[in-house]
Amino acid sequence: MADGGVGLKERIKAHKMSLFCALCSTGWSGDGKFWNQIFTNRKEKTTPKSRQSAAFEKRIKEQPFAESLNKIKDVVQSEFIGSFPIAKLNFFALYAFCTEVLIEVSRKFTAPGAMPVSMIPYNLELAVDCAAGFSFVACSFDVIQIFLDRNQSVAGHRALLLMKKALITVSEGKTASDFLWKSL
């Protein structure tokens, strides 16, 4: 995804999702995109034109530093205490959760009678691990995409239902706070 910071073939880019992380990645000095978002209250997310950049630089130099800090605080604070505190997101906990989901997918897929024998190559005994779950999900998404490209319904697709059950099983009892750093 061009605007979200994550995509299928790239790692999570926190500096695209969080102004706090963007500020950190510039050595706490901020770049043009950062200051553009600060002074436009996040309405503009692109690199400013040179005239606008010069105006930002002038504003930063002329006003008391405390004013710039307050402006940053006002804009960035939602990343810590807003409805989605991205700066507090514990990516390790999120990764561990995804791993649990993939293992559960693998468990459900390899359970007797869960999937047609024809889907299990050479009747091999399949491992129940994260890699097996990932392989199943990746293949299933490819098949589902083919259905969607042909304008066919995926409602009731066994693989999709299996993945949904795995996600529900692992999600049970979890809340958003389970994926946030506690000490921030």
Which residue is associated with the tokens 């402006």?
A: 71
Nearest to 176, CA basis, from 101, 98, 89, 116 = 89
| Per-residue pLDDT tens over the stretch 111-165 | 777 665 555 555 555 667 778 788 888 888 888 888 889 998 888 888 888 889 9
Nearest to 24, CA basis, from 62, 72, 60 = 72
Q: Delimit the domains of the chain by residue range.
A: 14-88, 91-179
- pTM for the model: 0.62
